[in-house]
Amino acid sequence: MRYIIALLLTSTAAQAEVPAVVTDIPPVDALVAAVMGDLGQPTLLLDRGASAHSFALRPSQAAALANADLVVWIGPELTPWLATALGSLGETAARLDLLDAPGTERQDFAAKDDHHHDNETEAEDATQGHDHAGIDPHAWLDPDNARLWLGLIAAELARLDPEHAAIYTENATAATAAVDRAEAEADALLAPVKDRPFLAFHDAYGYFTAHYGLTVAGTLALGDAAPPGARRLADLHATLAEGPALCIYPEVGHDPAMIEQLADGSRAVIGGALDPEGSALEPGPDLYPELIVSLARTIAACMP
């Protein structure tokens, strides 16, 4: 009996040594969960269907953040509300800012199309919070970044929990192989449609389209916080009415009515809803590979 009690106490102590990790969005959470494996489970702040750009912490989430040993997040460019929360906590937890991590592939938002951005339209977009400028934070959509981050996450967890360092490294290697398989499957799906331009809901897919060599004709909205203005809708509608048939994609978490309005009277074909943050997928270690393949499958399905 003494042996069993001692064993249970030892097991509990070992489990307690595993860092408490908090993550921001589902793709990051998936990478961390894959590295932690059976040792523990990160706390995901953004629940299923939540928006990364506007979010209010629940008391339980604020408590998890306050008690975290490690916070793994994209950075303030994506979730300024989390930057504010972290600032109020001080240096209570280690932080892994993925967008600023050495070796991360970073790119700016796409250059603006002069045809759709005369002075009136620029002013309209700016007043509605649409103006995308500077670094594009959607860097998780490049599988090269995911592979890099898996190694960085494993290294940081090993630093905090050296007893399980070998397990973190082994799990990161297995997760990298899963990313490789998803990347190859997505490439096979997208290879036949790389030269076919399409229209997306907003400017969130630059890393994905660059990685796979896809052609983006434009976006309905420039930002995330509000719908596009009437002038922009009119310009895009005229372009679609005069030009070749294009696939246009709504987005999970946004009203598809504007996409339907845009397609009405044109040769455009409405595709499935894209989900760049994986907010409609089941959270967990398999989400990231599923996200990459799901995006590729949805894009390809509209362009047979």
pLDDT in the model for residue 11: 44
> Consecutive 10-residue runs of the chain (304 residues): their mean pLDDT?
42 64 97 98 86 78 93 95 85 91 93 42 39 82 98 98 98 98 98 94 94 91 68 80 85 89 86 96 97 98 90
Whose CA is closest to 285, among 151, 207, 204, 174? 174
pLDDT in the model for residue 230: 77
Question: What is this structure's pTM?
Answer: 0.87
How far is residue 221's CA from residue 2's CA, in Å, rounded to a whole number? Answer: 65
pLDDT in the model for residue 4: 43
pLDDT in the model for residue 120: 40
The helix (H) or strand (E) run that includes residue 94 is strand 94-97
pLDDT in the model for residue 37: 98
pLDDT in the model for residue 132: 53
How far is residue 224's CA from residue 247's CA, in Å, rounded to a whole number? Answer: 21
Complete domains list, the chain, with CATH: 2-109+137-183 (3.40.50.1980), 187-301 (3.40.50.1980)
- Spatial neighbors of 51 by CB under 8 A, at least 6 apart, are 224, 253, 279
Residue 249 near residue 198 (C-beta atoms within 8 A): yes
The helix (H) or strand (E) run that includes residue 44 is strand 43-44
How far is residue 104's CA from residue 146's CA, in Å, rounded to a whole number? Answer: 9
